[in-house]
Amino acid sequence: MEEAKKLSEEEFVIQAIKKLRKEPYRGIHSVYSGFNEAFRKYFGTNPVEATNRLAAEGKIETRPFKGGVMLFLPGEAPKRPSAEEIIKIILGDENKNLSEEEFVIEGIKKLRREPYKGINSVISGFNEAFRKYFNKDPITITSKMAEEGKIEILPLKGAKGIMLYLSGEGPRGRKTEEALKKILE
């Protein structure tokens, strides 16, 4: 590649979004689209630093997504509800005062999307809403609730946050059922 024709990081990222996205999607996954590796090969630098900087400058938008982030052109990313909007969803129309535990339970119930039984603590906006409403870290209360069996927590590999489930609603793997069957035979 000739140096004179080399794209800037911004030009590269914008061109990648335009050329790698597949209809009807407006964005690309940083890992699954091949973007990260292509960026590393072209520039020899870390694409995460560049995309974070471009997002901070308003040149692109990013959204956390399993295994990486989604990259979008400005104005094309799905709109995220604000922490205030998430709080309103959790509290309901009556705008009642909830304890920390009630907030967690209602958050799981009201933020999950069918057919899923749980929520991602980060992507759903739950963590940010909890921090805003209580001015506390949600990890402390959710960990305590999980220890007490009131909710279930599933750590995520390569993704931000954790999955939160109501007690008894966490995923049950086939291996669990097979192991139980063998043990009880």
Residue 18's pLDDT band, with cuts at 50, 70 and 90, is very high
Amino acid at 164: L
Q: Which two tokens stand for residue 17?
A: 């979004």
Cβ 104 vs Cβ 98: under 8 Å: no
Give residue 35's pLDDT. 94
| Rounded distance between C-alpha atoms, residue 92 and residue 137, angstroms | 22
- Residues 47, 35 contacting (CB under 8 angstroms): yes
Q: Distance between CA 133 and CA 82 in Å, rounded?
A: 12
Tell me whether domains 3-72 and 83-171 share a fold.
Answer: yes
Domain boundaries, the chain: 3-72, 83-171
Query: Which residues on neighbouring strands pair with residue 71, listed in sequence order?
Result: 28, 62
Global confidence as pTM:
0.59
Helix/strand/coil percent split, the chain, to 5: 45, 15, 40
pLDDT of residue 96 exceeding 90, the answer is: no
Average pLDDT over residues 162-173: 86
* Closest to 160 measured CA to CA, from 30, 36, 39, 54: 30
Query: Does CATH place domain 3-72 in 2.40.128?
Result: no
Asked whether 70 and 13 are in contact (CB, 8 A), the reply is no
Pairing mode of beta strands 162-166, 119-120: antiparallel
**pLDDT higher than 90, residue 136:** yes
Q: Looking at residue 113, what is its pLDDT?
A: 84
83-171 to CATH, choices 1.10.3210, 1.10.1200, 1.10.3470, 1.10.10: 1.10.10
Q: Is 139 helix (H, G, I), strand (E, B) or coil?
A: helix
